[in-house]
């Protein structure tokens, strides 16, 4: 018995992608129709009887039957699916979150890192535990202890530093930029209020100095990271001074938010109502109090105060958020162009004109400043050049393919982008819009 197992057809035809182009994962250029050719393979249990027939039939000694592999389907682990976000990017911080966070602090470890190793500062055995391993009984017992003893008067500066450790901004988290600014500003305002009300004299001064140092370092880290990623991107597109303007604007934005939250606390001392005796410990959890402050102030006029700008810090929060998202969009296009190079260069020009028009419309609808709008528009021509550089790099890889496989010549594009054609098509489309 002979079993037919496959047929490979190489059929190059007008306007579609041939199998060779699919194999190469490269764009296809239309070719003239050629006669259809077939390659045929058959397998069976009989030895080949006609060596000139062009059909290969292996002998039984050359055939092997493989058993079907066994597998067990399991339910996905929700813990592995959850996105691990730093505190400054988490959408909420509830009473339950506060309870678990305080519980986990029992297992914090002080360690010294040296070379490729580390050493614990404690002589006690290390006990590692994840949040999912906490039993309900242990958690409720801990809740009762907090209700009885509270958290104590001392501020957990180690916890504050840990929560602000990942305050930086980059392309991966730019969508949560303003959320991170609010997080930093609200933690500062809550801690400042607590220190002023809880301590006096030298102790108050020392604690305020710690707060200012931590706040300043975190604010600088946020501004530096934004300027390096977003500002640096626009600098590379010829927008000199963008990084410095954005750095100063981030600093001004965080300060404005911190002042607004501080003023809100002074005018609304009861922004969070915690009356139950067994929940008074929450007042000592500054992360929880800051979350309640953000929620309370966000529903009032304080949450929508217009940021003042100046020559040194020309962008407000709306500008910075828009610029970050837009920079990420352009960056992704440059790193991984989606434009198919087998399309005409005139079509590329029209495509870029449509993208430019969308930028103008979205900038107008977002209400960004004229300065930022002009800067983004000025960056578009350099962006187009960079995009065509990226496309030419893809075409260079096509040339390498043809050099290695000459039979592919004519099937894929090897001529670089005609920039003059793109430019003419772009400006014609803009003028007609």
Q: What is the pLDDT of residues 137-162, one digit of tens each?
A: 999 999 999 999 999 899 999 999 99
Q: Tokens in use for 152? A: 């104590």
User: In angstroms, rounded to a whole number, what is the distance separating the alpha carbons of residues 211 and 160?
Assistant: 9
Measured from the Cβ of residue 172, the count of other Cβ atoms closer than 10 Å reads: 10
Residues 224-252: tens digit of each pLDDT: 999 999 999 999 999 999 999 999 999 99
Reported confidence tier of residue 6, pLDDT bands at 50, 70, 90: very low
User: In angstroms, rounded to a whole number, what is the distance separating the alpha carbons of residues 180 and 173?
Assistant: 9
In this prediction, residue 78 carries a pLDDT of: 56
DSSP 415: S
In angstroms, what is the C-alpha Rg of the chain?
A: 32
Pairing of strands 117-120, 2-10: unpaired
In this prediction, residue 433 carries a pLDDT of: 75
- Per mean pLDDT, which of 6-15, 71-80, 280-289, 405-414 is the most reliable? 280-289
DSSP 172: T
Mean pLDDT, residues 133-140: 88
In this prediction, residue 58 carries a pLDDT of: 58
Residues 256-274: tens digit of each pLDDT: 999 999 999 999 988 999 9
Report the SS3 class of residue 323: helix
% of the chain beyond a pLDDT of 70: 76
Mean predicted lDDT score pLDDT of the chain: 83
User: In angstroms, rounded to a whole number, what is the distance separating the alpha carbons of residues 61 and 403?
Assistant: 41
Q: Taking 80 as the threshold, does the pLDDT of residue 81 lie above it?
A: no
DSSP 18: -
Q: Taking 70 as the threshold, does the pLDDT of residue 368 lie above it?
A: yes
Contact 206, 299 (CB under 8 A): no
Q: Taking 90 as the threshold, does the pLDDT of residue 346 lie above it?
A: yes
Burial degree of 326 (CB within 10 A; 0-12, 13-18, 19+) = buried
Q: Tokens in use for 89? A: 């990017």
Q: Taking 90 as the threshold, does the pLDDT of residue 330 lie above it?
A: yes
């Amino acid at each position: 018995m002979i079993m037919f197992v496959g047929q490979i057809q190489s059929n190059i035809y007008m306007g579609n992608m041939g199998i060779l182009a699919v194999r190469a994962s490269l764009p296809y250029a239309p070719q003239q129709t050629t006669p259809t050719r077939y390659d045929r393979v058959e397998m069976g249990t009989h030895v080949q009887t006609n060596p000139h027939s062009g059909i290969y039939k292996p002998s039984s000694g050359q055939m092997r039957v493989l058993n079907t592999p066994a597998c067990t389907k399991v339910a996905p682990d929700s813990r592995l699916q959850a996105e691990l976000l730093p505190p400054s990017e988490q959408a909420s911080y509830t009473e339950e979150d506060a309870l678990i966070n305080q519980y986990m602090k029992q297992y914090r470890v002080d360690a010294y890192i040296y070379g490729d190793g580390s050493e614990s500062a404690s002589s006690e055995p290390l006990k590692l535990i994840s949040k999912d391993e906490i039993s309900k009984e242990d958690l409720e017992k801990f809740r009762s202890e907090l209700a009885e003893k509270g958290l104590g008067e001392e501020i957990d500066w180690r916890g504050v530093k840990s929560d602000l450790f990942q305050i930086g901004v980059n392309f991966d988290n730019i969508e949560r930029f303003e959320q991170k600014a609010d997080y930093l500003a609200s933690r500062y305002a809550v801690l400042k209020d607590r220190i002023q009300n809880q301590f006096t004299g030298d102790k108050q001064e020392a604690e305020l100095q710690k707060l200012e140092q931590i706040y300043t370092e975190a604010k600088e880290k946020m501004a530096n990271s934004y300027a390096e990623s977003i500002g640096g991107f626009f600098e590379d597109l010829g927008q000199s001074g963008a990084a410095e303007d954005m750095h100063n604007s981030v600093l001004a934005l965080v300060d404005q938010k911190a002042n607004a939250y501080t003023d809100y606390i002074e005018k609304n001392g009861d922004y969070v109502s915690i009356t139950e005796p067994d929940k008074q410990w929450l007042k000592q959890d500054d992360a929880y109090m800051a979350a309640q402050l953000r929620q309370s102030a966000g529903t009032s006029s304080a949450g929508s105060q217009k940021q003042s700008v100046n020559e040194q810090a020309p962008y407000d929060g709306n500008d910075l958020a828009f610029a970050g998202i837009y920079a990420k969009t352009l960056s992704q296009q440059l790193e991984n162009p989606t434009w198919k190079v087998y399309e005409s260069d005139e079509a590329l020009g029209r495509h870029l004109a449509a993208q430019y028009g969308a930028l103008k419309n979205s900038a107008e609808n977002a209400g960004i400043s004229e300065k930022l709008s002009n800067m983004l528009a000025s960056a578009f021509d350099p962006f187009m050049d960079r995009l065509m550089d990226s496309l030419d790099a893809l075409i260079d890889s096509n040339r390498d393919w043809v050099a290695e496989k000459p039979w592919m010549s004519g099937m894929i594009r090897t001529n670089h982008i005609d920039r003059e054609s793109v430019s003419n098509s772009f400006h014609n489309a803009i003028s007609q819009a």
